[in-house]
Chain A
């Protein structure tokens, strides 16, 4: 800046312009064309909740211990169960998860002793109603329907 020749020749400004120009190469463009191309999210991503079922018998893995509901900071999980008189175990009747209040901290996932509740890589959870954000057991087990976009 101190050099008057540099000041007169606009060297400082041209240096910046050259830096801008260098980054215009098409191979350096990092924009992702969502939703045409979906970025892969990482393995540990905390997205839509899922209630896992046994892969062969399709029975729920949840043992209705209520630990996830106790761990949740927002108290948005409600686990309902009834005592099975034969096996003396609790059978899951319903499981509601209010995704509108969820902040995806992952504490419920950490609390689950049998890996039944899991936060998956799905992130498209928009609905048209507030009630649609409250997921019941069926929704949690089947997962959200994949969104289709028509252009």
Chain B
């Protein structure tokens, strides 16, 4: 293992002479480790149980999505974005469609915008539920994963009923929506919000006061607001550090300015605060869904857009608040049927950059908690 891959660690205290005198140990965590949420390999430099540094090795799931985009038409690329962050496919589809719509300069009907908001928020809840289940499982609580997956199933049923797929939804099309909402759409969404409000109490009963959970999360993986900004970390990790930044409020898109909701924040920026922020975000998402369903306007679901999408030459960048942070799509058009260049700014990849900073000085067992708390999806990190 070459020494250059890790920044020089702080000088360890003078060791007592031992037989082997091997104070530093470099080990691999992953890519087969079940707690790395996929195929993430972390090289850890250890002094006993203390982590001196961590380096991520990524690329095991690289599919070259950005290059694929250059060989597909604008409509044909839309299903591929679902395969990046596959637990929040709707948000990915929303970001991509909005970027192309910005290039085309097309107006989206209000009904389509409201349905987009409803589905994106339900997807945020589903993503946070999966995060909560697996994060608690990493730390050692097994019950939450079963309860979370039970509720996530209801969210996936709404997607399946609306657009025909549970995970890789392909729910939105450029210019609006493909599918009109089904008869029980509003009822299903409201029932899901009521269910979530009720079940959140169960999660709080299981975890929030639990002494094992508190001891494993409080003061672990602290990242303050200044460091978050330095690393470009966004999403719940930034909000848990006390920064009130949410793209839905800062640069409202798709009609988010019409809904009344709060941005949950915390102070310490540790793992427990990120847990509380995400739990509160679920409540806020339920609020948005309720408002959007009640004020769902009638009207067309697709804007004035031709069968062939041929944007004028130019470029567009659109960023949205995905469940994991700021998700950006940058599309360059040369006036042909295919994008000239497409670049994704994935929140998981950027947030993963802060892993080394958060891990230093903590114990090996806490690395598992820290990887879980930044909520990464490797499909999005590697693309």
- List residues of chain A with CB under 8 Å of any chain B CB: 1, 7, 12-13, 15-16, 18-20, 23, 30, 41-46, 71-73, 103-107, 110, 119
Q: Which of A13, A30, A42, A43 has the most CB of B within 10 A?
A: A42
Taking CB atoms, residues of chain A closer than 8 Å to B207 are 16
For the complex, give the distance between the alpha carbons of A18 and B236 in Å.
Answer: 30
A46 to B205 CA separation, bound complex (whole angstroms): 39
Q: How many A-B pairs fall under 8 Å by CB?
A: 72
Query: What are the residues of chain A within 8 A of B206 when measuring CB–CB?
Result: 16, 19-20
Contact call A20/B143, Cβ cutoff below 8 A: yes
Q: Are A1 and B147 in contact (CB under 8 A)?
A: no
Find out whether the CB atom of A103 lies under 8 angstroms from the CB atom of B164: no
Check A106 against B170 for contact (C-beta < 8 Å).
Answer: yes
Inter-chain contacts of B182 with A (CB < 8 A): 43-44
B75 nearest in chain A by CB position: A107
Within 8 Å by CB of B165, from A16, A23, A30, A46, lies A46
Q: Are A105 and B209 in contact (CB under 8 A)?
A: no
Q: How far is the CA of A30 from the CA of B149 in the complex (A)?
A: 10
Residues of A within 8 A of B210 (CB): 12-13, 16
Q: Is the CB of A106 within 8 A of B75?
A: no
Q: Contact: A45 with B77, CB < 8 Å?
A: no
Minimum Cβ distance to chain B for residue A75 (Å): 9
> Do most interface residues of chain A lie in helix, strand or loop, or is the interface mixed?
loop
Closest Cβ neighbor of A16 among chain B residues: B206
Q: Would you list the 7 A-B pairs with minimal beta carbon distance, nearest first?
A: A105-B79, A44-B164, A73-B76, A12-B209, A46-B164, A42-B161, A16-B206
In the bound complex, residues from chain A placing their C-beta under 8 Å from that of B178 are 106, 110
0/1 interface trace, chain B 74-93, chain A, CB 8 Å (1 if under): 01111110010000000000
CA–CA, A71 and B170, complex, Å: 14
Find the B residue at minimum CB distance from A22.
Answer: B202
Tell me which residues across on chain B come within 8 A of A110, comparing CB atoms. 178
Cβ of A13 and Cβ of B205 under 8 Å apart? no
B77 x A73 contact (CB < 8 A): yes
Additional A-B contact list (6), CB under 8 Å, known A42-B164, A45-B165: A12-B209, A16-B206, A44-B164, A71-B76, A103-B79, A103-B83
Q: Whole-angstrom distance between the alpha carbons of A128 and B154 in the complex?
A: 33
- Rounded to whole angstroms, the CA-CA distance of A71 and B77 in the bound complex is 11
A44 touches B79 (CB 8 A): no
